[in-house]
Structure 1
Amino acid sequence: MINKDLSIDFVGVHFENPFCLSASPVGNCYEMCARAYRAGWGGITFKMISPDSEKIDEVSPRFNELAKEDTPFVVFNNMEQLSERTVAQNCADMKRLKAEFPTKVLIASIMAASEDDLTELAR
């Protein structure tokens, strides 16, 4: 088997390869992320975390029909952009991932409506 170095440095961060999971349902918890790291992914953007006070309303069905200028089209409703888990649960999972996979890149994706909430999440 040919062994090639696919590592890259991006904005000062070293990735063992350029393949990263996006912030999505596949980066939602320790188990999913650990499985991705073991499979060889170079990095993960953990599913977006918001303050515990943020109401997460999972919608179903996921698709809907809207119209603009009398032209109907299909749209996606909330596609699980925000984690439904608490900040403490997400932080515990990320801490465990960094302890077990110290050379892998783990990016926290955060969102908040206020500067104070955003600052607290960043901490």
Structure 2
Amino acid sequence: MMTIDEIYLNIAQSISNAIEDANWAEAKLDIEVVANGVVAYTGDYQVNNTTIDLSVRKIPRDVRNWLRELHSVTTSGGNNKWNRAIFSLTPDGKFNIEFIWDQDLHDEIERLAKS
């Protein structure tokens, strides 16, 4: 099992490796974790005040496993409930992750599971 710091480092490195432009200023990975550990993400990065979509095909599939593990570790015990997160990264390696509980997303997943 990886530590949270190792998970963060691997996610940051994967995002950085997926960016083709050397002059990027900030990258973001928008993450959703839904029922049964299903993980989805999209991303973008900034170059000269222009937003460019991050090609998620260039991000290794291992990121899904790391995000599942991060979700499992950070929500164990039910104290830190989240189903969305935004992982922000700058070229110098500094990052921030914002954990979000999206009730509308949760309700939609519940509704679809019942149909």
- Answer yes or no: same fold by TM over 0.5: no
In the superposition, the TM-score normalised over structure 2's length comes to: 0.27
In the superposition, the TM-score normalised over structure 1's length comes to: 0.26
Larger C-alpha radius of gyration, 1 or 2? 1
